[in-house]
Amino acid sequence: MSFSPFRVKVPGSSANLGPGFDSIGMALNCYLTLYFEPSSCWEITVGGKHAGQVSRDEDNLIVRVIRDVSREQGVFLPPFKLHIENDIPVARGLGSSAAAIVAGLMAADHLLGMNWSRKELLRRATLLEGHPDNVGASLFGGVVIASWDGRQVEAVACEPPDMPVMTVIPEQSLLTQTARRALPDQYPRDDAVLASSRANLLVAALFLKQWDLLKTAMQDAFHQPYRETLIPGLKESLNEATAHGAYGIALSGAGPTMVAFVNDWMELERFFRRLFYELNVPVRMEKMFPAEKGAAVELTATEKHSKFI
């Protein structure tokens, strides 16, 4: 089996946006891009702003996903050269693993001629990731509201806010498993009701573009309060950023990155610089924008693949 060179491009994402725990995600304009070429032997190379933590070996998550699909389907997987350009920060709560899963499934679908629907791709990605928020946003783009019961997944996408997003990225990493262990096994009824109402308000604000509601709608009672001890500055940021130029702010996924919808960039940037200077916590701030388009595959000419020259 041979194939023509192709590219897979997948956006990163921010999950939860506060109270939308494991159910709301938003695509961001930081990308994982894969370049495939036919070859007589396997080869993996890595580049991009965040290449350092991406494996060049066969344990690479993208390659594992592709090979698992090949074995499951009983379809021969041709050898290929793969160049990975990764501009998504790793282990920072910006959907790097979800993007890798979606990219691997999209590549497998194309390489093996599976012709899966987007819903089937979402189901498979959710099975691998364990929740649909990040993978849904990476797959569809925009803001995705999804529900997963362990067997079936449903998702609705809406146009994302047309405004900059400030990402406040601590130098420390935080594994999702560590952040999840901080959560309780049971919740008081009042907390559960409040979290549900905030998530409902968040969905309404996003669909109706009523950004003044984000200050309240992005406040969470389900996971953020339990993760404050893991992330220096999180409590202060959640409590104060909306008084300093943010429409709303939330922990991005499991963290440690925070994301804020920005009303006044300069004021918000001054607030964060002052806060983390006083806490002696190194962070970097990046301006991102919601990404309207999700994962895509396109054929590429061999001569464009300067990565392999």
Give the annotated binding-site residues for ATP.
Answer: 89-99
Report how far apart, in Å, the C-alpha atoms of 27 and of each of 146, 176, 260, 290, 292 are: 14, 19, 14, 6, 7
DSSP code of residue 12: E
Q: Please check whether residue 295 is in contact with residue 6, taking contact to mean a CB–CB distance below 8 angstroms.
A: no
From the list 47, 57, 49, 56, the residue with the least C-alpha distance to 85 is: 47
Half-sphere CA count of 254, side-chain side, radius 13 A: 21
Q: Can you say which residues are annotated as belonging to the binding site? A: 89-99
Q: Please check whether residue 42 is in contact with residue 303, taking contact to mean a CB–CB distance below 8 angstroms.
A: no
Report how far apart, in Å, the C-alpha atoms of 190 and of each of 248, 280, 303 are: 23, 36, 60
